[in-house]
Structures are given as C-alpha cells and as structure tokens.
C-alpha cells in the first residue's frame, strides 16, 4: 500500500526542478505516491522529460497559481484562491492524501494550512517546530518558531504536549526531556510569560520537564524538546541561520587566503562536507506544523532534490505514526487529570 | 596623564591569573593606571612575582570577598558586602577611577553596578550591550542582552539612544543605522511590544532607523545597532554561543576523522585561527553596561590576558569619549523635541 503525499511543486526557490527530481527520488526509494501540485502545462512536459519512460506513482494535480517567496503571506493567501498550496492542502482535508509538503513561503504555508485544515481538537494555536542538530548527535525539537507572535501559558503547554508526541513518534526519543526556553536555569529566571508557565509545565509533564533551559542548550543536547513563544523561537532560529552563514563565508575566505591553506582545504574537503551536513537542517526533512487537522511539513526554500525527498519521507512517517491522533489523545488526557505522564 | 581603571582581579574563571597578566599587558601598552581589586594577601605576592621588579602603574585595592560564577547574583550582591565588584565600583562612584572592568558573574556585576552607581539621568533601565561580528567585518551592537526581562517601549527607545551613542563614540560608526529585532521586515510583523515600539523609534531616530530586522541580520552587517527586550537579546546571544560551540566541536571531530583530513587541518590551521578570531567576542573587549552613572564593562568568564587587556582598553576609551555625558545630552534632546537627529 502506497502512502499518498501531496507535494507543492511550485514551492522552492528553484521550483519546480528540485520538486520534480525529489518526487522521482522519493517514489524510487519510498512506499509513496506523490501528487505534484502546480500548473499542468509546466509540470507535464518537465516530468515526462525527467521520467524518460520510467513508470513511477507520480500524479499531477492542476493548480493555476502559486505563491512566491516574495509574496506577502496574508495577502497571497487571500488573493490566490487556486494556489498550489491551497489545492494541495484541500486534498489532505478531503482525505485524498495523508500529508502535504512544501518548500515554499513559510508564512503563506502556515496561513493556508490553518485556514484549509483548521485546528486539532483542543489546540488553540498551531505551532511550527524545527529540528536542530546538537553536540550529542541527537536532534533538539524547538517550537514555536513563528506560527504565533504573542503566546499565553496555555499555548506553551499545548506546544509541550505536541512537541513531546512528535519527538517520541517521529524522532524516536524515549524518556523525552522537555525544557522551557528562558534566560537562566533557576525557576525565578525569565520573563512574565515563562515564570507563569514554568509551574504549569511541571504539573503537566512531571519528570519529563527539566525546567528552564538557555539558548545555548538548544545545541548541546540537554533537552529533546524546547518550547517558547513564536517570537523568541523565530529570533533564535533566524539568528542561528545568520551565524551559520557568517561561519561558512568566514571559513571560505580564511581558507582562500594562502596557497598552503588552499591545499589544506582541498585535503580536508571531505571532513568539511561531513561537518556541513551535520548542520544542514534539510537532513531532517523540514519543519512540521503541529496542531492543524492534517499533516503539513514545511521545508527550506533552498531545498535540493534530496531535501525534497526527505520532506516527503518525514511527511509520510508523521502520517503513518498517526501523530495527530496521539496529540489529541495526549491533550484529552492532560485536560482530564492534569498529568499526561500517568 | 594616565586613565585610572579599576579591574576586578577575582572575576574570570581562572582568576586572578588572567587579570594579573592582563593588567601588566595593559599598563605596558596603554596610558592607564590599573587598580586591581581583590584580597591583598593573594594579589600582592602574585603580582610581585609577575612583575619581577618591572615598575608599572598597578595598584592593589583590598577586598576581602569575591563573587564566583556559581553564586546566585541577587543573593551574592546582598550578602558579600566587601566583594571585589562592590569595592571596585565604589571607586568609580567616588570619582577615584574612570571606569570598571570585570570578567566575572554577569548578573552580579549588573546588579552591583545598578546598586552602587545608580541610573543615568533620564534612563529607566540600564541595558547590557554586546558586540557581534558580521559578514561585512563591521561590528553589530545588540542590546539589551539580559539586564532586563520584561521591557516597555520607552525602555527600547532608551536602548536605541544609548546604543547609537556608544556605536558612534566607541565603534566610530557614521550614519549609524538602528534596527528593531523582530520576526519579519514589514512594519506589521512582530509581537505587541515591537509593533508598539516601531513607530516611536521611527519618530525618534528618523532616517537612522531602518525598521524591523530579523535574527539573521545580526550577523550580516545590515544594522550598526539592534535593539530588543533583554529576554529576546539574551536568547539570541546564548543561542549563538551554543552554535559556536557546536561548530568548533563538529569541525574538530570532522578534521580528526581521517589522516588526509588531519594533514589538511594542519595546513589550514592558520586560516582556522583567523576565522576563530573573527568570531571571538573577546576581541571587542566585553559588553558595556549602558545607562548607569559610571563606566562599567563586563567580559566573558573565559577571558584570557589579551581579553582582559582589551577590556581595560575599551573601558578607558568609553570613559575618555564621555559616552555617558553624550547619552544624557541625547536623552535630554530627544525628550525636548522628539527627534534626536535634529
């Protein structure tokens, strides 16, 4: 049985090329049927050329419009009623596919998913989660990284439950540790939101809650899951992206500066690639939007075919693991007895 | 004329060794007299041993206690009434020194400075500023990185004025650009604090205000100064520190993995060092605490002698440039006519 996954063919910076190649890779290696959404007149000839007669379970679903990275999210969602995102997400809502993946405009994807899919029972606000690499080699799931701006303690509790379920079901963590992003480890540290949320999280998660964690803990493997409001999470994520960019450019310049260094760079190229891969978020297949009624994963705009394939893979895994069903069960459980660890 | 600078001899992780060596370096190379504060019975023999008869303008000021990195800031400030920080900052308050530098417990240093020095006229909340390296090679001044938790728009306006003055006077920027840290460039993006603050900053700074900036802009040189609440700034800073650590350890491991890579690493070692230096915050001499009535700079706990010397240098520069006088003038001006650019 193949899992039906919808792929926004017009999402990434270089769309539809990485999407076409990624869909082909995915269908060769994974038990999936990919529904490529976008303008048929563009996709049909391009796909046929790539397939060269190879028979793979790839379908084209027509959408006459698409949302670009430059489009303002809210406006594009309103005005482009036949966008590839909207058409694709509708297929998920209607049960014609198990999940949706896009490497497109994050803001637009979140807004469209909220509108088309609606929220999960018991979740006030969906959250965008991202997976960060750590020193221990295990990933750290950070949420929310920008689905919301101003959050209430109740939202952070939902984020914690959703993040814990996702981490256990998809990242396969056990004894999952959840931290609250703050500016000091002691309970008294933080802003009014974190100070109010901390005791509630402790009640909710029991021994799975490890208290306040700091920004540096995002990369040292101290916590499997870290929750914060979407403003703080987005700043942490974008700051990290900026620093990675500074790193690569500085390193490149430093290694260009002398002939000896150039030879050195040549010899250590493979090591650098290992290192870069470790920091390549696309390895993890994108950021899940948690708390909507359906599976929706959002990849980086710079995704290449491999990142697209990984995105399709993770989207299928989330659907198969019934993450949403488990989140709803955990939420019901937490509302019932105040302790989801029971 | 020598500039009198107080140095907390008991601040850094390896105190007082880096402080003694740093003081000696500073006195050899800069027009400063260093007042080393700490237990005389420890400092006197150690200093004499280092000096080996060399005559330098270093004085020892006795303090029987000191605050460690493990001490809880608020408690230590209350209980250790004869700490090296408190004794040193009193010298600044009494006009016996032009500025104070410590590589000690940041929280304790801020609390002690606020208590001993008090706030500058017109400043509700002092802010801790940090200097980040960028792709253009020019530094970016980020504040507040943790002197406050919950901020009001008025606080962010003060931070903008203080940051702009510091950037112009100490980092020598011209046409200084100031950005507001948010999660999108458009005016409508951000949380309730940034949305309320944005128009006020535009009124205050006129063409020097470049609007919202994102986390990634901290490292690409888009803004000379970036303001945010202390919670967000602290998360951004600590996240960066965590990522730098992950970077170095990943790179080290990758370069150890094969013999070829090891040879490569050897050949490119100088290039790596250039690169590491670029990311070494201690080059900039520590983080200034702005908005207190006196000059106070706080360095990293891991400061070596060179970082200590740089801290002394910057502290002296801030004092000489009369940064505080200029901040007070700018604040008076901004309150008077609503536009400090006039």
Average pLDDT over residues A133-140: 90
Neighbours of B70 (CB within 10 A): 7
Mean pLDDT of A177-196: 94
CB contact under 8 A, A239 and B239: yes
More confident position, B262 or B319: B319
Tell me the shortest Cα–Cα distance from B310 to chain A, in angstroms.
23
Handedness of CA A11, A13, A16, A18 (dihedral sign): negative
- Taking alpha carbons only, the member of A37, A47, A39 closest to residue A17 is A47
Are the Cβ atoms of A271 and B261 closer than 8 angstroms?
A: yes
A221 sits in the region (left: phi over 0; alpha: psi -120 to 50; else beta) called left
CB–CB contact A267 B260 (8 Å): yes
Beta bridge partners, A134, equal none
- Taking chain B, what is the end-to-end CA distance rounded to the nearest angstrom? 35
Retrieve residue B114's tokens.
């606020």
Architecture of domain A1-123+291-323: 3-Layer(aba) Sandwich (3.40)
Report which secondary-structure segment, H or E, holds A167.
Answer: helix A153-169
Tell how far CA A15 is from the center of its chain.
Answer: 19
Q: What is the pLDDT of residue A338?
A: 47
Residue B240 has pLDDT above 60, yes or no: yes
Residue A220: list chain B partners with CB under 8 A: 242, 245-246
Select from B229, B239, B270 the Cβ nearest to the Cβ of A215.
B239
CB atoms within 10 A of CB B258: 15
Candidates A258, A263, A153, A141; CA nearest to A198 is A153
Locate the domains of chain B by residue range. 1-123+291-322, 151-281
> A271 to chain B nearest CA, in Å?
5
Whether A232 and B235 lie within 8 Å, measured CB to CB:
yes
Task: Choose among A208, A211, A214, A184: nearest CA to A199.
Answer: A211
Residues of chain B found within 8 Å of residue A264, distances taken between Cβ atoms = 263-269, 271
Is the pLDDT at A33 greater than 70? The verdict is yes
The yes-or-no verdict on residue A342 having pLDDT over 50 is no
pLDDT category of residue A275 using cuts at 50, 70 and 90: low
Tokens in use for A158? 């939902």
Lowest-confidence region among B20-34, B276-290, B316-330:
B276-290
Predicted pLDDT of residue B137: 85
User: Whose structure tokens read 């919202």?
Assistant: B212
Residue, of B67 and B149, whose pLDDT is higher: B67
Higher pLDDT, B338 or A65: A65
What length does chain B have? 342
How many Å apart are CA B261 and CA A266, to the nearest integer?
Answer: 9
Interface test with B, best of A231, A273, A278 (most B CBs within 10 A): A231
Instruction: Tell if the CB–CB gap between B135 and A246 is shorter than 8 Å.
Output: yes
Note whether B264 contacts A265, CB cutoff 8 Å. yes
Mean pLDDT for B235-262 is 82
How many angstroms away from the CA of B186 is the closest CA of chain A? 9
Q: Are strands A127-132 and B127-132 parallel, antiparallel or unpaired?
A: unpaired
Q: Do B264 and A268 touch (CB under 8 A)?
A: yes
**Is the Cβ pair A216, B247 closer than 8 Å?**
no
Which residue in the block uniquely carries the two structure tokens 């150890």? B256
pLDDT tens profile B18-66: 999 999 999 999 999 999 999 999 999 999 999 999 999 999 999 999 9
Within 8 A of A254 by CB-CB distance, chain B residues are 268, 271-272, 274-275, 278
Kindly state the average pLDDT of the residues B151-165: 97
pLDDT beyond 50 at B4: yes
pLDDT band at B252 (very low <50, low <70, confident <90, very high): confident
Residues of A in contact with B184 (CB under 8 A): 107
Q: CB of A227 within 8 A of CB of A143? A: yes
Instruction: Return the beta strands (E) in A51-176 as ranges.
Output: 58-62, 99-102, 127-132, 140-143
| B10 touches B38 (CB < 8 A) | yes
Q: Which CATH class is domain A129-282?
A: alpha beta
Where does B151-281 sit in CATH, by number?
3.40.718.10
pLDDT over 70 percentage in chain B? 92
C-alpha closest to that of B156 among B228, B208, B87, B64: B228
- Average pLDDT of every residue of chain A: 91
B1-123+291-322 matches B151-281 in fold: yes
Checking if the pLDDT of A286 tops 90, the result is no
CB contact under 8 A, A191 and B231: yes
CATH number of B1-123+291-322: 3.40.718.10
As a dihedral over the C-alpha atoms of residue B315, residue B319, residue B321, residue B323, rounded to 10 degrees, the angle is 90
Whether residue A257 and residue B271 make contact (CB cut-off 8 A), yes or no, is yes
State how far the Cα of A188 lies from the Cα of B335, in Å rounded to an integer.
Answer: 35
Q: Contacts of residue B134 in chain A, CB cutoff 8 Å?
A: 246
> b/e map of B163-182 (b: 16 or more CB within 10 Å)?
bbbbbbbbbebeebbbbbbb
pLDDT of residue B308: 95
**Spatial distance between the Cα atoms of A266 and A269, rounded to a whole number of angstroms:** 5
Please give the share of chain A, as a percent, with pLDDT higher than 90: 75
Residue to test with chain B: of A150, A197, A235, most B Cβ within 10 A: A235
B195-236 pLDDT, tens digit per residue, is 999 999 999 999 999 999 999 999 999 999 999 999 999 999
3-state secondary structure of A209: strand
| CA gap B100, B82 in Å, rounded | 16
Cis preceding linkage at B16, omega within 30: yes
The nearest CA of chain A is from the CA of B61 a distance in Å of 32
Per-residue pLDDT at B274: 65
| Cα A250 off chain centre by | 28
pLDDT at A271 over 90: no
Q: How many CB pairs under 8 A join A and B?
A: 213
CB-nearest partner of A236 from B150, B230, B236 = B236
Express as a percent the part of chain A with pLDDT over 70: 92
Range in A37-51, A87-101, B85-99, B179-193 with the lowest mean pLDDT: B179-193
How sure is the predictor about B338, in pLDDT bands with cuts at 50, 70 and 90?
very low
Show residues of chain B in contact with A218, CB under 8 Å: 239, 242-243
So what's the pLDDT on residue A256?
74
Q: What is the pLDDT of residues B56-92, one digit of tens each?
A: 999 999 999 999 988 888 889 999 999 999 999 999 9
Kindly state the average pLDDT of the residues A51-61.
96
């Amino acid at each position: 049985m193949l899992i039906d996954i919808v792929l926004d063919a017009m999402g990434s910076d270089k769309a539809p090329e990485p999407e076409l190649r990624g869909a082909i890779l995915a269908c060769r290696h994974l038990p999936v049927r990919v529904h490529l959404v976008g303008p048929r007149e563009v996709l049909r000839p391009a796909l046929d050329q790539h397939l060269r007669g190879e028979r793979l379970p790839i379908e084209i679903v027509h959408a006459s419009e698409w949302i670009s990275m430059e489009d303002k999210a809210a406006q594009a969602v309103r005005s482009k009623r036949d966008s590839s995102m909207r058409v694709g997400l509708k297929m998920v809502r209607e049960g014609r596919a198990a999940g949706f993946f896009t490497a497109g405009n994050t803001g637009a994807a979140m807004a469209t998913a909220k509108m088309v899919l609606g929220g999960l029972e018991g979740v006030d606000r969906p959250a965008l989660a991202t997976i960060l690499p750590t020193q221990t080699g295990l990933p750290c799931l950070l949420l929310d990284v920008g689905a919301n701006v101003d959050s209430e303690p109740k939202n952070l509790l939902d984020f914690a439950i959703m993040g814990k379920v996702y981490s256990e079901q998809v990242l396969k963590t056990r004894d999952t540790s959840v931290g609250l992003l703050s500016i000091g480890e002691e309970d008294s540290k933080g802003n009014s939101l974190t100070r109010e949320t901390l005791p509630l999280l402790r009640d909710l998660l029991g021994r799975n809650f490890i208290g306040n964690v700091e920004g540096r803990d995002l990369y040292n493997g101290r916590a499997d899951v870290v929750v914060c409001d979407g403003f703080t999470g987005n700043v942490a994520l974008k700051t990290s992206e900026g620093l990675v960019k500074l790193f690569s450019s500085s390193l490149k310049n430093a290694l260009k500066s002398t002939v000896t260094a150039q030879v050195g760079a040549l010899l250590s190229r493979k090591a650098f690639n290992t290192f870069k891969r470790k920091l390549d978020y696309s390895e993890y297949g994108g950021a899940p939007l948690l708390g909507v009624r359906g599976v929706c994963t959002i990849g980086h705009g710079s995704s290449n075919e491999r990142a697209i394939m990984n995105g399709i893979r993770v989207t299928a895994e989330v659907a198969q693991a019934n993450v949403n069903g488990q989140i709803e069960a955990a939420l019901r459980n937490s509302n019932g007895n105040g302790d989801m660890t029971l």
